[in-house]
Amino acid sequence: MNISVVIPLLNEQESLTELHDWIAKVMQSNRFSYEIIFIDDGSTDASWSTIMQLSQKDDNVKGIRFLKNFGKSQALHAGFAKAEGDVIITMDADLQDNPEEIPELYNMITQDKFDLVSGWKKKRYDSVLAKNLPSKLFNWAARRTSGVKLHDFNCGLKAYHSTVVKNIDVNGEMHRYIPVLAKNAGFTKIGEKVVKHQARKYGETKFGMDRFINGFLDLITIWFITRFGKRPMHLFGALGVLMFAIGFIFSAYLGIDKLFINPTGRLITERPQFYIALTTMILGSQFFIAGFLGEITLRNKRESSRYLIKQELNF
Ligand SMILES: Nc1nc2c(ncn2[C@@H]2O[C@H](COP(=O)(O)OP(=O)(O)O)[C@@H](O)[C@H]2O)c(=O)[nH]1
Ligand SMILES: [Mg+2]
């Protein structure tokens, strides 16, 4: 199969039929073999019954329905696990992403050998204050911390080689950072394509300002995991040793001073150095323990998730 279109959605009943017909038209005129996987993430409107109707009419339509709302990342994960195409395309269900982009994206993956191509909504049709400005800031921060040079991390329209989606683990709220996850897993040929964007036709946006706060927190997590996820002791151990050393120097100074230089001076507990020594030594040992625990947790992880094999010969 050429293409799997993976569409996570929440309460998009008005858009689904139109979206399906549009995708089907593009696929047929390009003679692609394809499937469309709708993942209904606990919609409370008629989205699921629409998907059922579509799947009765059209064998290429597949549906996954979650018991309740688990979030976009989980929906993508479920879709990726089931996808059978050589190229996986993700897109939003709200008709803001344009299916006409699919053939070009497909060529970029199959002919230009990109691992991943991300859409870039260069000209956006969303509100400036609520979406465009925060989004610029967000993308700038994401570029700086992750080293992945994309203009638009959040774009729902993306294309992947199937090995990419089968080998990355999208969880939590990490759907915004799939390119970063892919890069960390060793898929470095990451491209970008300017895509057409439409204003939302039906319904309303499901993501408010809180996405930017959560997004930034996720960014810190992903930065940390990228830098130290495989070697927590290098961060915590170093911090621990540094702290402990500071504390130790202060204690040594206090001890020598009290014993040999100035035995009749102030009580040790009355001196600020004592408290510095106390806190830094306690903090230092705790950092050290955090590093150890991190390392032990890592050792217990499943083997398969620690590295990915690109090729094997003669097995
Ligand atoms: N699976 C899943 N999809 C969601 C959820 N929230 C929004 N979506 C889908 O994600 C896509 C983008 O959402 P939208 O509200 O249009 O975000 P915007 O375009 O950034 O304003 C749409 O297809 C939504 O149906 C969710 O909680 N779970
Ligand atoms: Mg939208």
Tens-digit pLDDT profile for residues 4-52: 999 999 999 999 999 999 999 999 999 999 999 999 999 999 999 999 9
Q: Which one-letter amino acid corresponds to residue 178?
A: I
Whether the CB of 207 sits within 6 Å of ligand 1: yes
Residue 224 has pLDDT above 90, yes or no: no
Does ligand 1 have an atom closer than 6 angstroms to the CB of 75?
A: yes
Q: If pLDDT is split at 50, 70 and 90, which confidence band does 313 have?
A: low
- Inform me whether the pLDDT recorded for 227 exceeds 90: no
**CB neighbour list of residue 312: distance below 8 Å, 6 or more residues apart:** none
Which protein residue's CA is at the shortest distance from atom 20 of ligand 1?
207
Closest to 152 in 3D by CA, of 97, 204, 104? 97
Domain positions in the chain are 3-228, 232-305
Query: Does any ligand 1 atom lie closer than 6 A to the CB of residue 35?
Result: no
Rounded mean pLDDT, 102-119: 96
What is the Å distance from ligand 1's center to 203 Cα?
11
* CA of 69, closest atom in ligand 1: 27
Superfamily of domain 3-228: Spore Coat Polysaccharide Biosynthesis Protein SpsA; Chain A (3.90.550.10)
Distance of CA 146 to the CA centre of its chain: 11
The whole-number average pLDDT for the span 152-168 is 94
Output the residue whose Cα is nearest ligand 1's atom 16.
Answer: 205
The candidate with the shortest Cα–Cα distance to 4, out of 31, 33, 29, is: 33
Measured in Å, residue 95 CA sits from the centre of ligand 2 at 8
Does residue 218 line the site of ligand 1, with CB under 6 A? no
- For residue 227, which phi and psi values (nearest 5 degrees)? -75, -45
Say how far apart CA 4 and CA 83 lie, in whole Å: 6
CA of 16 to the centre of ligand 2 (A): 13
- Cα(128) to ligand 2 centroid in Å equals 14
pLDDT of res. 170: 87
Sheet containing strand 158-161, edge to edge, reads 61-65, 34-40, 3-9, 87-90, 158-161, 116-120, 190-194
Q: What's the whole-number mean pLDDT along residues 168-193? A: 90
pLDDT in the model for residue 147: 87
